[in-house]
Amino acid sequence: MQRMHIWGGTVLAAVVIVGCSQGPGPGSDYVPEKPARPGDVESLCAHAWQHENGVFIFYPQGQLQFQPPIEGTQPFHGTYALQEGILDITVMGLPPLKGTWDGTTLVIDGQTCKPRDKQGQ
C-alpha cells in the first residue's frame, strides 16, 4: 500500500512539472518538422538530455528513462521511436511527446534539450 502511494505521488509530480512548462508543451498540437538531415539512434543515445522538465536518457532498442527534477523522485521508464528524424516518446504518467533529432540538436515538444554526460545523471 505504501509503495503504491509513493508511486502515485511520483506520477502526479511529473504531470504537474510537465504541465507547468513554457512553450507548446506535451499534449499540445505541436507537430515537429522533419529535419533536413535526420540523426541516428546511436548519436541520440550518446548523451543524457536536459529538458526544462527533467532529463531524458535514450537507450538502444527504443527504451528511455525520464528523471523529473524533484529530488528523490524515481525515474520513469518509457519507449521512443525515431523515424526520419521525428521522435515519438511515450512515458507512463505523461502525455505523448513529439520531437526531432538531427544528429546534433534534440527538440522535444518545441523545447531544445541540452546534452549532458550520462555519467552525471
Q: Report the pLDDT value the prediction gives residue 103, as an integer from 0 to 100.
A: 96
Q: Report the pLDDT value the prediction gives residue 14, as an integer from 0 to 100.
A: 46
Element (H, E) at 13: helix 2-19
> Collapsing DSSP states into helix, strand and coil, what is residue 9?
helix
d(Cα 102, Cα 42) in Å, to the nearest integer?
Answer: 12
Element (H, E) at 43: helix 41-44
pLDDT per position as a tens digit, 13-26: 444 344 444 444 44
Cell numbers describing residue 61 = 532498442
Provide the pLDDT confidence category of residue 118 given band limits of 50, 70 and 90: confident
User: In the chain, where are the structural domains located?
Assistant: 2-116
Q: Report the pLDDT value the prediction gives residue 5, as an integer from 0 to 100.
A: 42
d(Cα 103, Cα 37) in Å, to the nearest integer?
Answer: 8
Q: Report the pLDDT value the prediction gives residue 31, as an integer from 0 to 100.
A: 80
d(Cα 107, Cα 99) in Å, to the nearest integer?
Answer: 5
pLDDT per position as a tens digit, 6-56: 444 444 444 434 444 444 444 557 788 899 999 999 999 999 999 998 999
Q: Report the pLDDT value the prediction gives residue 81, as an integer from 0 to 100.
A: 97
CATH of domain 2-116: 2.40.128
d(Cα 40, Cα 79) in Å, to the nearest integer?
Answer: 16
